[in-house]
Structure 1
């Protein structure tokens, strides 16, 4: 492309400091360095983790550096590649990934985990392999969120953190596979290994929770209970496969007690999709003795939970999942195929479409429970 090797000026939504709305400004995106790919971002979802990192960071619970370009759930087109890149070419449709897959390390070759720590410390702190970001504004470095930063019309990512997808995939739909849908769906299928005719509870009916319900249904669970304090989400949850929905505020007892009574001793699987330690504990307490499994899929960086050891000694399993257990570069194209073959829902998650200039409105919709996923067109 004509821009290869040049600095690109484009729009980005910059978080200058924690707790302040994003500012849509012109930034400069440098060319990719060795083993990096520069992507023209076409569409990006607005994830609750983006909101948390902006508005919870001021409380000292989120460890990020500012100024920062958020966004990590996206799809786009390769604009140019850096030296040493052989698996991507300009024009390829791709999904950037916050979880790398180098296919060389012990973790990538393990069947027990989907984690890969290539460039991990750098991308977690907002920079790429050489310790710098490719995004700047008036000479000031702008940090990149999880090595992605998709709230920018162009971004540069490590080649181990991007995957090529089929050319006919609609980017404004498959962008959701970059985080929320993959995480929830995989929480049921990969982490929980939900079995046929089992009973399940999903706590939190945002995108991750709805995807977890979709995963439970794909596993042919018999009972799927959705739990949320926002009853406006119940109809959507039933469309994804929930057999019943419950609002904790409708009950005087703790929700875990209600659910244990309702399920005659607890369910086979509980999936926590909120990121709240209190709800994580409630999810574990909702599972049955002698075989109940609780999967933590909700994101939190620094908080902890207290677990009564007797709960585990009586045969429960407590586990967590990062990105739904998918080996990112290898598995995301397979999820795209499932969507294209109408075996996986994506369109139904999208409640709003907005331009980048309305990114703060998208955050407000998310915060107030008025959206499942807003897709930002860049």
Structure 2
């Protein structure tokens, strides 16, 4: 049936309020408007960021890590056509603003809420929604809203990928993998022969371990409070694994002793004030570099002692792994196809879409790295 220009009725997981299970509902998805693309979502990852929590807007179609196929395009769209395989992402690249034109950043001016990008892009650029349910407009999420069989995104939040790409794996390039892998390569700029510490071994942290390995690090210390993740970390290149709960002193002190003063690079993939402090203090004075990858919205932040910076330690952050999204995502898909890195090891469960609440239970219980939901 030709759906071009028509409202599509389909299933979506609606978060009606904070801290409640998702409800599978029938939604209406409007046709794309100017410079928008409507996508049939084929696979979506379940990321901790997608937990319906206080601070988000409700009701919302969450989800931001997915891959699918173009169903139709709005006026002015020339780079996509129906049938194209695509990956949407929360990090737009309009290629026109001062940020996109600068080689110094991968931010884009279409991110209208720089202070909290996780609640940015909750409506389309014309301030309206393409979702309705039970007569009520539903918010978008991070410019993607992948917890729906169909979604509408800006063409600036979309990349065309190879026709033979495995959508149930490359969907991870829409967030988790790219964020961690790129953090090590593009933002931390891990160097050959260096020592690294990676805090947090979820999808992002394990991808950061991959990035450190690819960059040539000689020692990679992986840290998590769940020791069951250590097998995967070692398979991906970690040389040491530490559980802070098994130690009788602060983790940063243990790392300092193991590395004769601290690591060259640390990457915090958790984003709590406690792990940020430990990650910074685990680096060596003189040149140690700490890169913050994770960000918890409810955290009050990090208090940095001036002496840490005066003595040569640095701290920086990363957004979507430093990748200019539209340009880089297709290349990352090709690299996966060429076996430059392993996405398969990050996927611990695959479930049908209507099992979304079960997928979040697995995540919240620490039993999954990434669960892929299929439609």
Q: Number of residue pairs matched?
A: 370
- Which one of 345, 367, 371 corresponds to residue 370 of structure 1? 367
Greater mean alpha carbon deviation, residues 15-24 or residues 111-120: 111-120
1:116 aligns with 2:108: yes
* Distance (whole Å) between structure 2 residues aligned to residue 301 and residue 370 of structure 1: 23
The answer on 1:309 being equivalent to 2:306 is yes
2:236 aligned partner: 240
- The residue that corresponds to 1:293 in the other structure is 289
Residue by residue, what CA displacement relative to the aligned partner does 1:342-371 show, whole Å, maximum 9, x if unpaired? Answer: 002111100000011110110011111100
Aligned mates of 2:78, 2:298 — CA distance in 1: 38
CA apart distance, 1:72: 0.2
CA 1:242/1:119 → structure 2, altered by over 3 Å: closer, same or farther?
closer
Indicate the SS of the match to 2:153: strand
Q: Is the 8 A contact 1:24 1:356 kept in 2?
A: no
| Partner residue, 2:212 | 216
Q: Which residues in structure 2 correspond to 1:276-355 (within 5 Å)?
A: 276-301=272-297, 303=299, 304-355=301-352
Secondary structure at the aligned position of 1:28 is classed as: strand
Instruction: Give, in whole Å, the separation in 2 of the partners of 1:65 and 1:369.
Output: 26
Shift of 1:125: 5.2
SS of residue matched to 2:139: strand
Q: Counterpart of 1:75 in 2: which secondary structure?
A: strand
Partner of 1:60: none
Report the Cα offset of residue 302 of structure 1.
Answer: 5.1
The residue correspondences of 1:60-139 to structure 2 (distance < 5 A) are 63-118=55-110, 120-121=112-113, 124=120, 126-139=122-135
- Residue 263 of structure 1, aligned match among 256, 259, 262: 259
Per the alignment, residue 147 of structure 1 pairs with 143
User: What is the Cα-based RMSD across aligned positions, in Å?
Assistant: 1.2
User: Deviation string for 1:21-48 (max 9, x for gaps)?
Assistant: 0001111000001110000000000001
User: Separation in 1 of the partners of 2:36 and 2:262?
Assistant: 48
Give the 4+ runs in structure 1 shifted more than 6 A.
none
The match for 1:156 among 152, 155, 165 is 152
Cα deviations by residue, 1:145-181 (Å, 9 ceiling, x for unpaired): 0111000000000111101001000111100000000
Comparing 237-246 with 111-120, greater Cα deviation is found at 111-120
Shift of 1:199: 0.3
Please say which of residues 122-131 and 268-277 is displaced more in the overlay: 122-131
Q: Deviations over 1:259-316 (max 9, x none)?
A: 1111111000000001211100100000001110000001223531100111011011
Partner of 1:17: 17
* SS of residue matched to 1:331: helix
Match of 2:357 in 1: 360
Preserved CA contact (<8 Å) 2:200 2:270? yes
Q: Show CA shifts across 1:32-76 (max 9, x none).
A: 01110000000000001112xx13x1xxxxx32100011000000
Tell me the distance in 1 between the aligned counterparts of 2:271 and 2:152: 29
Report deviation, 1:14: 0.4
Give the CA deviation at 1:238.
0.4
204-213 or 298-307: bigger deviation: 298-307
2-side partners of 1:2 and 1:277: how far apart?
51
SS at match of 1:120: coil
Paired residue secondary structure (1:144): coil
TM-score (norm 2): 0.97
Aligned residues of 2:98 and 2:109 also touching (Cα < 8 A): no
Is the contact between residue 119 and residue 128 of structure 1 (CA under 8 Å) also seen in structure 2? Answer: no
For the Cα contact (< 8 Å) 2:271–2:293, is it kept in 1?
yes
Unpaired runs of 5+ residues, structure 1, are 58-62
How far the C-alpha of 1:119 sits from its partner, in A, is 5.4
